[in-house]
């Protein structure tokens, strides 16, 4: 690794926006994967022009650049390799415009997702993507990873709301992609190519987002199912009944038990599944939809369907869902959280296969997530300091991924590849798909400057054997 | 141009799927732009493998290949250059699967859009994209061009329904992109990169499409506005009122007059604008939405709002919209149809600028289209045999495009670039954006085999000076 041209870097961003101490650098070297990398410096560019100058320096001196939002990513996609430059976009945190008439916003990448939703909401507008980290994740990071969330079943994911970008390419040129309009077919769709490219193709400095009218009303239901198959069939039947809920969450038995041990809220520990369902839209139509959903759940064997009548009721129903994370923390010190996704009719097959995997490898595995779109968060509970348990977990993850692909699913519905899934990436793309992606990367980043060592490089960091980034 | 290796081509597809006579080739050399090219042969591959073999031959012998659907494109994107191979995908016309539970379909590219919609509808499902040509356009062509339509204001365009592709790359390798699930973030989004790539990056042999539940009910309204500004304000107010119509079409005064001269249906020729509005969804909520829309229209100066009570009523309201094309045919023998798009609040500015352009260049220009998403079809009526009028029209188009970009819009909401807009393409992308697209093209098609001479090559065909493709 060449030495970083720190004095020139300081000239670009100003001394006050450059960190070089090991301690400071390590604060910007982690993400939610618990991996940790050690950068050589951290810069906070204040404009596209500054980001461009930094990338031009990087190309001249051939040092790697690792763009970064709030570090809420799950797969190590923003972890720096040793000695490289972290480019933190958090200084670019302005909401530049909310054009309520045209339902379009222009934001900088460092805006926190939840803050933006609040600001949009003040205009009667709605920005649906709702990753679990939305209280601290940034829109730039959401775009880089194509963040999802519970509302995706009705409203789609981040890609469905990005209309255009101001983006700095790896070589330093600044492009403006997309439009401010809903329609636009002028040339290749660079916007959607860059969404979800995990910081390897472009640094975003402005984002044009689509907003929609806020729904007029919301209704919330919770249904308890003695049998998993009944819950899964109910999920399909609700949607076949021409109702698309805005949330359709499932918790399996292991999750119910963990939450009940934690909350003591009276959840039935013998139930195999629990569904949390929300519908939103025109209030005149919602009561009928609620009644239809109740009927579908009961027809599929639900013991009880609880309908929230007040905001307090609604909070109560959400409490179980929101308590999953702290409840799991009580089971084991660590977890591996995979976000596999299958066609929704295959959820019972997936959950059964996971139950079998847990038994085979003597692991506690907890499943919950977004049943409406088949995105099941699969949490292998473990103690990361127990190498033998970690090895069993590794084996289980490999078998999980094979199963998911056999079921017509995908390795990742929300989190992406980054470091932790890179060894399995070609399983899904095939060699030809991987080669096409690699050629695009080389075309836009011939010197492999922007976020190298991820995605295309099978990294064993996940298994505790990574060099540049090893588990903390 | 090298001679095509016809005997080897015949070995790949079979003699019966190869046309070589000049007459046959010219039948596959046109599209709705009225441009005409002369291919050296036309092939009808029966599988991805055959398409792959043909592209490998093309790379070996360096002849160009022009993929083609039903020829309903508006910009000459499928027009062959002299002596090249037209690859018509119409033989691959099977609906392979409609998975109603998971609301996913797998189709071949040659399936006719309207036929597919009927088949989906039999399952209670809905494929919203509705280009005007849907009775004969193919899904492969729709994906290549990212087709839109009136329903885009609520339901989006083709890109919003393509989940994955089996695609043959220009070099002949076969890739499988995307997933069968709503969520999926494994690597670069090749699916969306290929959607709208106008046949220059990939030949599609299978398409995975997302379906949604069919709306339970539809309501239709027509409102007549004495003033254009009132109609435009009503469009914004309806959506601000948290109602997203499934159709929100506008006709300007020139269109109303042309249609009334043709239909004699009692449309008020002094009115400056007419809105055709549909809402769909849960019937319990629709009556309220219809009442709200009526109120908004009246508040913005509408003379009358006609609400369809019966299917016959609905047909009557749609009759004016559907009669635009034949009505325009009576005005002049030819037209140039541009599909410019602006933020919806800028529609009055756009229509006024167009009225001024018509006056300045002594042209008849008729505007109508999708007001909800700002996509205004701008038709310059002319006699293509009158070179002087054609020159004035060229000048008006150039000025129209400048105006649209100044208004924050895009040159094309639905039709794409192809041959006819290629001279103006860099106006919107800028040199850096164009360069990024060109690098992607070169990375995937190093020998420039697939659909060359379009998009990146400023082509004067539109102006009657094209060599490979000149106006008929």
- Chain B CB within 8 Å of residue A102 CB: yes
Measured in angstroms, the CA of A164 and the nearest CA of chain B are apart by 12
Question: At residue B326, does pLDDT exceed 90?
Answer: no
Q: Is A464 within 8 Å of chain B by CB?
A: no
Q: Which pLDDT tens digit goes with each residue over B206-261?
A: 999 999 999 989 999 999 999 999 999 999 999 988 899 999 999 999 999 999 99
User: Using a CB-CB distance cutoff of 8 angstroms, which residues of chain B are in contact with residue A413?
Assistant: 181, 183-185
Q: Cα–Cα distance between B62 and B204 in angstroms, integer?
A: 21
Picking from A146, A157, A174, A187 by the largest number of B CB atoms within 10 A of its own CB, the best residue to mutate is A187
Q: Nearest-CA residue of chain A relative to B200?
A: A188
Q: Confidence band (pLDDT; 50, 70, 90) for B461?
A: low
pLDDT at B470 over 90: no
Nearest CB to A181 within list B413, B437, B440? B413
**Which chain B residue is nearest to residue A424, measuring alpha carbons?**
B186
Asked if B236 lies within 8 A of A177 by C-beta distance, the reply is: no
Q: What is the pLDDT of residue B9?
A: 98
- A343/B contact by beta carbon, under 8 A: yes
Per-residue pLDDT tens for B372-406? Answer: 999 999 999 999 889 999 999 999 999 999 999 99
Asked if A182's CB is within 8 angstroms of B156's CB, the reply is yes
B178, B184, B418: best mutation site toward chain A, by most A Cβ within 10 Å?
A: B184
Neighbours of B232 (CB within 10 A): 25
> d(Cα A252, Cα A225) in Å, to the nearest integer?
10
Q: Are A150 and A204 contacting, i.e. CB atoms less than 8 angstroms apart?
A: no
In which residue ranges of chain A is pLDDT below 50?
Answer: 463-472
Query: Half-sphere exposure of residue A3, counting CA atoms within 13 Å on the CB side?
Result: 4
Instruction: Select from B124, B183, B435 the Cβ nearest to the Cβ of A148.
Output: B183
Residues B188-219 have pLDDT tens digits of 999 999 999 999 999 999 999 999 999 989 99
Structure tokens at A248: 């359709």
Distance, in Å, from the CA atom of B83 to the CA atom of A338, rounded to the nearest integer, reads 52
Rounded distance between C-alpha atoms, residue B444 and residue B450, angstroms: 10
pLDDT at residue B330, as a whole number: 86
pLDDT attached to residue A240: 85
- Contacts for B131 with CB less than 8 Å, ≥ 6 apart: B72, B113, B137, B142, B147, B148, B149, B414
With 90 as the cut, is the pLDDT of residue B354 above it?
yes
- pLDDT of B170 above 50: yes
Rounded CA separation A60/B213 (Å): 54
Residues in chain B closer than 8 A to A433 (CB atoms): 175-177, 187, 190
Does an H or E element contain B470, and which? Answer: strand B470-471
Q: Which of residues 43-72 of A touch B (CB under 8 A)?
A: none
CA distance B410 to chain A (A): 6
The reply to whether B95 touches chain A by the CB within 8 Å rule is: no
Closest CB to B439 among A342, A345, A443: A443
* pLDDT at residue B78, as a whole number: 97
Size of interface A-B (CB pairs under 8 A): 290
Query: Which of A152, A182, A279 to probe the B interface (max B CBs under 10 A)?
Result: A182
Show residues of chain A in contact with B101, CB under 8 Å: 236, 240, 343-345
Contacts of B153 in chain A (CB under 8 A): 182
**Could you report how far apart the first and last alpha carbons of chain B are, in Å?**
23
pLDDT of residue B129: 97
Interface test with A, best of B153, B296, B422, B436 (most A CBs within 10 A): B436
Across the interface, which of B103, B145, B409 has its CB nearest the CB of A239?
A: B103
Give the strand order in the sheet containing A104-107: A95-99, A104-107, A203-210, A162-168, A174-178
Q: How far is A459 from chain B (nearest CA, A)?
A: 15
Contact at CB, A183 and B100, closer than 8 angstroms? no
Chain A residues within 8 A of B412 when measuring between CB atoms: 184-186
Could you write out the DSSP letters of every residue in B31-69?
-TT-EE---SEEE---SHHHHHHHHHHHHHHT--EEEES
Q: Are A351 and A231 in contact (CB under 8 A)?
A: no
The pLDDT score that the predictor gives to residue B462 is 52
Closest partner CB to A187 (pick from B174, B288, B455): B455
What integer pLDDT is reported at residue A299 of this predicted model? 97
Describe chain B by its helix, strand, coil percentages, rounded to 5.
Answer: 40, 20, 40
Asked if B173 and B202 touch (Cβ cutoff 8 Å), the reply is no
Digit-coded pLDDT (tens) for A66-106: 999 999 999 999 999 888 999 999 999 999 999 999 999 99
Half-sphere exposure for B96 (CA within 13 Å, toward CB): 14
How high does pLDDT run on average in chain B? 93
**Residue A7 phi, psi dihedral angles, 5° rounding:** -70, -35
Q: How much of chain B exceeds pLDDT 70, in percent?
A: 97
From the list A186, A414, A430, the residue facing B428 with the nearest CB is A186
Taking CB atoms and an 8 Å limit, are A240 and B341 in contact across chains? Answer: no
What local confidence, expressed as pLDDT, does residue B242 receive? 86
Check B412 against A185: CB less than 8 A apart: yes
Nearest to A149 by CA among A164, A124, A166, A132: A132
Residue B433: partners with Cβ closer than 8 Å, 6 or more residues away: A175, A176, A177, A187, A190
* pTM recorded for the entire structure: 0.96
- Tokens 């050296």, residue? B40
Identify the bridge partners of residue B204 per DSSP, sorted by sequence position: B167
Q: Considering only alpha carbons, which residue of chain A is nearest residue B424?
A: A186
Using a CB-CB cut-off of 8 Å, the residues of chain A touching B432 are: 169, 173-175
Q: What whole-number distance in Å separates Cα of residue A408 and Cα of residue A370?
A: 17
From chain A, pick out residues whose CB is under 8 angstroms from the CB of B441: 188
Contacts of residue B343 in chain A, CB cutoff 8 Å?
A: 99, 101-102, 104, 180-181
Contact A215/B344, CB-based, under 8 Å? no
Mean pLDDT confidence for B292-300: 97
Residue A410 and residue A339 in contact, taking contact as beta carbons nearer than 8 Å: no
Burial B313-336, CB ≥16 within 10 A → b, else e: ebeebbebbebbeebbeebbebbb
> Considering only residues 202 to 241 of chain B, which have any Cβ-Cβ distance to chain A shorter than 8 Å?
212-216, 236, 239-241
Instruction: Chain A: give the shortest CA distance to residue B150, in Å.
Output: 11
A105-132 tens-digit pLDDT: 999 999 999 999 999 999 999 999 999 9
Q: What is the pLDDT of residue B466?
A: 36
Nearest to B410 among A104, A152, A184 (CB): A184
pLDDT at residue number A467: 33
At B329, is the pLDDT very low, low, confident or very high (cuts 50, 70, 90)? confident
Q: Which of B153, B466, B298, B184 has its CA nearest to residue A411? A: B184
Q: Which of A146, A287, A432 sits opposite B174 (nearest CB)?
A: A432
Q: CB-CB: which of A196, A215, A409 is closest to B189?
A: A196
CB–CB contact B193 A195 (8 Å)? no
Instruction: Scan residues 377-416 of A and list those with Cβ closer than 8 Å to B.
Output: 408-416
> Which member of A104, A236, A437 has the closest CB to residue B101?
A236
Distance from C-alpha of A129 to C-alpha of A147, rounded to nearest angstrom:
7
**Predicted local confidence at residue A441, as pLDDT:** 98
pLDDT of residue A320: 87
How far off is chain B from A468, nearest CA to CA, in Å?
Answer: 21
Chain A residues with CB under 8 Å of B244 CB are: 212-213
Task: Measure A292 CA to nearest chain B CA, in Å.
Answer: 12
As given in the structure block, the two tokens for residue B30 are 């046109």
Cβ–Cβ below 8 Å for B181 and A373: yes
A74 shares contact with chain B (CB less than 8 Å): no
**Location of structure tokens 């999802």:** A148
Residue A359 φ then ψ, to 5°: -65, -50
Task: Please report the pLDDT score of residue B34 as a whole number.
Answer: 87
Q: pLDDT of A32-72, one tens digit each?
A: 998 999 999 999 999 999 999 999 999 999 999 999 999 99
Q: What is the DSSP string of B319-332?
A: HHHHTHHHHHHHH-
CA distance A143 to A191: 10
- A146 contacts B185? CB cut-off 8 A: yes
Contacts 24+ apart (CB under 8 A), A235-240: A235/A275, A235/A344, A235/A347, A235/A371, A235/A372, A236/A344, A236/A345, A236/B101, A237/A296, A237/A299, A237/A300, A238/A277, A238/A292, A238/A293, A238/A296, A239/A344, A239/A372, A239/B103, A239/B213, A240/B100, A240/B101, A240/B124, A240/B213
**B239: helix, strand or coil:** helix
Cα–Cα distance list, B180 to A99, B146, B208, B209, B369 (Å): 35, 19, 7, 8, 33
B40: tokens are 């050296």
């Amino acid at each position: 690794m060449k030495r970083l041209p720190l004095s020139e870097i300081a000239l670009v961003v100003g001394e006050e926006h450059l960190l070089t101490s090991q301690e400071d650098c390590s604060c910007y070297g982690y993400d939610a994967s618990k991996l940790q990398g050690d950068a050589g410096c951290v810069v906070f560019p204040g404009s596209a022009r500054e980001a461009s100058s930094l990338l031009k320096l990087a190309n001249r001196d051939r040092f790697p650049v690792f763009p970064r939002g709030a570090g809420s990513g799950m797969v190590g996609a923003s972890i720096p390799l040793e000695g490289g430059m972290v480019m933190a976009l958090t200084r670019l945190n302005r909401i530049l415009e909310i054009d309520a008439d045209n339902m379009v916003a222009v934001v900088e990448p460092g805006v926190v997702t939840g803050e933006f939703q609040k600001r949009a909401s003040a205009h009667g507008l709605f920005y649906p993507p709702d990753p679990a980290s939305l209280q601290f994740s940034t829109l730039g990071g959401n775009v880089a990873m194509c963040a999802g969330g519970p509302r995706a079943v009705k409203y789609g994911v981040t890609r469905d709301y990005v209309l255009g970008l101001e983006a700095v390419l790896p070589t330093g040129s600044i492009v403006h992609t997309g439009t401010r309009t809903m329609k636009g077919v002028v040339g290749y769709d660079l916007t959607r190519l860059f969404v979800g490219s995990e910081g390897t193709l472009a640094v975003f400095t402005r984002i044009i987002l689509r907003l929609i009218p806020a729904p007029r009303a919301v209704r919330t239901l919770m249904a308890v199912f003695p049998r998993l198959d009944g819950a899964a069939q109910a999920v399909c039947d609700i949607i076949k009944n021409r109702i698309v809920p805005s949330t359709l969450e499932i918790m399996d038995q292991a999750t119910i038990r963990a939450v009940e041990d934690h909350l003591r809220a009276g959840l039935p520990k013998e139930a195999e599944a629990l569904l949390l369902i929300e519908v939103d839209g025109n209030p005149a139509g919602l009561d009928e939809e609620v009644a239809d959903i109740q009927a579908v759940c009961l027809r599929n064997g639900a013991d009880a369907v609880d309908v929230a009548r007040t905001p307090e009721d609604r909070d109560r129903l959400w409490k179980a869902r929101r308590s999953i994370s702290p409840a799991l923390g009580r089971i084991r010190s660590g977890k591996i959280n995979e976000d596999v996704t299958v066609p929704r009719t295959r959820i019972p097959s997936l959950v059964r296969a996971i139950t079998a995997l847990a038994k085979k490898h003597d692991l506690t595995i907890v499943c919950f997530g977004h049943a409406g779109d088949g995105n099941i968060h699969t949490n292998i509970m473990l103690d990361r300091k127990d190498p033998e348990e970690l090895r069993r977990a590794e084996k289980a993850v490999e078998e999980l991924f094979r199963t998911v692909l056999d079921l017509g699913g995908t390795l990742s519905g929300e989190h992406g590849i980054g470091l932790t899934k890179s060894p399995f990436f070609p399983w899904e793309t095939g060699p030809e798909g991987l080669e096409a992606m690699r050629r695009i990367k080389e075309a836009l980043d011939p010197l492999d400057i922007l976020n190298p060592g991820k995605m295309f490089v099978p990294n064993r960091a996940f298994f505790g054997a990574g060099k540049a980034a090893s588990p903390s």
